[in-house]
Chain A
């Protein structure tokens, strides 16, 4: 390389401090987010692996009946020196779920539970730090009394996150075996966190990661192209004094490398600073450990190298592609015009989702083996399709806009967009993706709202009541004692329901019997005034929404077997938890206490609600970096057109008109694709919701969606407005020279 050329190149980069600073800042933000994303992907996997043992249900605790004789008594498999009996009763406190693991083991067992030195003895418990804190903050009769005496905390290596609520309680073998059906024999805990759902989880995270990754890459590509016009001019000069196109491309690549490398290093430092903040974000109910988000030096090196190399390649390629000749920039290369072919990826995505929607109604066709690839493929195709079709739609709209333009502003903006549809669209593509993701999330969460806390419906089990079935082996006196204890507690009232046989026995039948006077405590509307009332046992099902009618019965309660105990509460959260605690402690129960309230905290509802936090984070990240991209792209387009915009002001165009031109150039491509992004977002959400199960129905999005949408657009608008100052100064009469 010629010395003169090299010196010119260096001089050029020295003069462009602002440009270099911009590239550096943009790359730093991009690299920081990439590393956090990498850390999050890595950390979530670690986190789930640490929580895998909580999924363990164990092997059967009973020998299967011999000869298939259904009436043969099942024979318990005894505890061995390396096994434990484990039960996992559902445990609720307020509206969160506590992961409770009951264990019984021989005193000298060699079986181990992750995170604690040895299985707790009966009456003792180990708790996660977050739960122990909760236990200490809460009056004992609401929580602590459920577990026994504190033996120690569970180590972090067995906790998914800092806020995980986990308790391992010791119990006797007979206590666990009597707990209804839930006991299993465990010698080693599983390490597979997702079981059969692994693929679904991974794809969900992959899709979410892509939605955030795309705007990051877009940002890096936009900032590394900052000041393209001035650079082209300089390269033309270099060509004029004898540099070959290859030399110029290499100079361009080398120029890109320095600020990108500096930005990448800055980004690595930034990610270490931001990590504690990012760890405050709750994911699936708990904040993660800071270390989970950490990435090692390999990750940092890979990200930095990938960003710097691709920026260099892109810069060199762009310079070659721009065809900078010795006569340089007087004839700008026209941007290749987008064609209708750009609709293809979007259509392909539609087809994928269409196939899924079709198959959803045909059970024989359903199989995760093709449904999941189609779901993810469809999602990715639609997301990419939105970005690919954007320039073409923008072109169509701007051409129509030009035809019907009335003002100088719309003529100038429409012409500019029509001449460079890809470049104008690129500046808002990130926002479009963000809106798409927000819409998916809003569609999904609208379905969740529909399975929230049930309303109090007359004639069905009341939402704030807690009930449990009674162990057939429990003595009626113990049941009476429990009822008395409950009735002695403020805000609670116990009703004992009786059956022809005990819970889980062949004689129990479909009917339960109560004292008629108790009907009012259960929320029954039609019941006899006195004596014994009989009603359908379906009443006890929390999900029953059909009013149950109680009728008079000649049965005499003391001759029947206690079947269930139903505790009416005054609906105060404290009362509900007191009722739960009393029922857990009683030892007459055949299973954990349940309440219609629990529904809202369990099952896939909870999972998706947990993921919603992630979706919000993703949206926030995507919108913020898209806003930066928009500001950078706008500023860069402005600087590229500094002279001609200044000339417009000289001709007497007010600065406000320039602002309106710039605003319109961002608004037209955004609004063109916005509706499409919203519509497709809801379509994808609908697909995902229907695949969850028939109980989920899409609904109108909540106010939070419109808030999020408004906020996204607001942030975009703010980004745009932030460039107005630059517009005013860079086109000012005193800085532009007109010759």
Chain B
């Protein structure tokens, strides 16, 4: 455990339960995520990893339990995500969180560059500034020559890097990634992963990353194992 473990968690979940019909996807999960840490979430298919991530990020509201977001040390700043309304959660996701999924998350009609600008524009950034910041990000991810291409003209790895650029464009506090390299071959996966981690560490962004691949998990500061909707023994919240 590094020093971050001692600071207050940026995101803290208690007693999360969630069912889809008769399927109990989460059966009481407690997690603390610390500012700036890279957390790998592992577990077998169907164990509830994606559901957990959605609850943490305020995409879905859990049936029971709470998720508290504490962006800074001041006590008044904490937000109970699970009790916000849809508009409030939307706002939070837009300004504080970033998302990367496995595939198909870019708007197909937009150029790579325009795709990256969308969250910035939604945040009220002027288009000129948004284009500039997006171009810088694409540069950093080695995509300087691909800005005008449409997603269908990019390779899988390139498209994932554009998605990473978009997720980081607004400088979010937490980046949620659900198998970001799941659809890539190992070389491309390695490539995307290292570049993403480099950007995340530089900016001090917290990263919550679901992965099946132990080699990917090895890049993380900490990992938890989800099994049957609960965090498996030995991976409990650090005291």
Interface residues of B in 157-187 (CB under 8 A from A): 178-179
Interface pair B121/A411, CB less than 8 Å apart: yes
Given the complex, which residues of A lie within 8 Å of B107, measured CB to CB?
Answer: 412, 415-416, 644, 648
Min distance, Cβ B160 to any Cβ of chain A, angstroms: 13
Q: Which of these binds chain A: B66-74, B86-94, B135-143, B215-223?
A: B86-94
Interface pair A415/B90, CB less than 8 Å apart: no
Residue-wise, chain B 116-148 has the 8 Å CB interface mask toward A (1 for contact) of: 011101100011000000000000000000000
Q: A652-B92, A652-B93, A738-B50 are in contact. Are A411 and B118 (CB under 8 A)?
A: yes
Interface residues of A in 381-410 (CB under 8 A from B): 405-408
Interface pair A739/B179, CB less than 8 Å apart: yes
Q: Which of these binds chain A: B31-39, B97-105, B227-235?
A: B97-105
Interface pair A738/B54, CB less than 8 Å apart: yes
Min distance, Cβ B227 to any Cβ of chain A, angstroms: 19
Interface pair A420/B109, CB less than 8 Å apart: yes
Count chain A residues whose beta carbon lies closer than 8 angstroms to a beta carbon of B. 31
A330 to B95, CA, bound (A): 30
Min distance, Cβ A129 to any Cβ of chain B, angstroms: 63
State which of B99, B111, B127 has its C-beta within 8 Å of the C-beta of A651.
Answer: B99
Min distance, Cβ A197 to any Cβ of chain B, angstroms: 53
Residue-wise, chain B 42-83 has the 8 Å CB interface mask toward A (1 for contact) of: 000000001000100001100000000000000000000000
Given the complex, which residues of B lie within 8 Å of A734, measured CB to CB?
Answer: 60
Interface pair A650/B93, CB less than 8 Å apart: yes
Nearest residue (CB) in A for B20 is A734
Interface pair A406/B127, CB less than 8 Å apart: yes
Min distance, Cβ B205 to any Cβ of chain A, angstroms: 16
A738 to B101, CA, bound (A): 7
State which of B50, B114, B122, B126 has its C-beta within 8 Å of the C-beta of A657.
Answer: B122
Given the complex, which residues of B lie within 8 Å of A408, measured CB to CB?
Answer: 117-119, 121-122
Nearest residue (CB) in B for A420 is B109
Nearest residue (CB) in B for A408 is B121
Q: A412-B107, A416-B109 are in contact. Are A652 and B122 (CB under 8 A)?
A: yes
Q: Which of B91, B109, B126 has the most CB of A within 10 A?
A: B109
A229 to B18, CA, bound (A): 31
Interface pair A739/B178, CB less than 8 Å apart: yes
Question: Does A331 reach chain B (CB closer than 8 Å)?
Answer: yes
Given the complex, which residues of B lie within 8 Å of A556, measured CB to CB?
Answer: none
Nearest residue (CB) in B for A409 is B121
Nearest residue (CB) in B for A732 is B86
State which of A406, A407, A418, A738 has its C-beta within 8 Å of the C-beta of B59.
Answer: A738
Residue-wise, chain A 632-648 has the 8 Å CB interface mask toward B (1 for contact) of: 00000000000110011
Min distance, Cβ B156 to any Cβ of chain A, angstroms: 9
A654 to B85, CA, bound (A): 12
Given the complex, which residues of A lie within 8 Å of B110, measured CB to CB?
Answer: 411-412, 415
Interface pair B104/A644, CB less than 8 Å apart: yes
Interface pair B117/A739, CB less than 8 Å apart: no
Interface pair A407/B109, CB less than 8 Å apart: no
Q: A406-B126, A733-B60, A738-B59 are in contact. Are A412 and B108 (CB under 8 A)?
A: no
Min distance, Cβ B67 to any Cβ of chain A, angstroms: 15
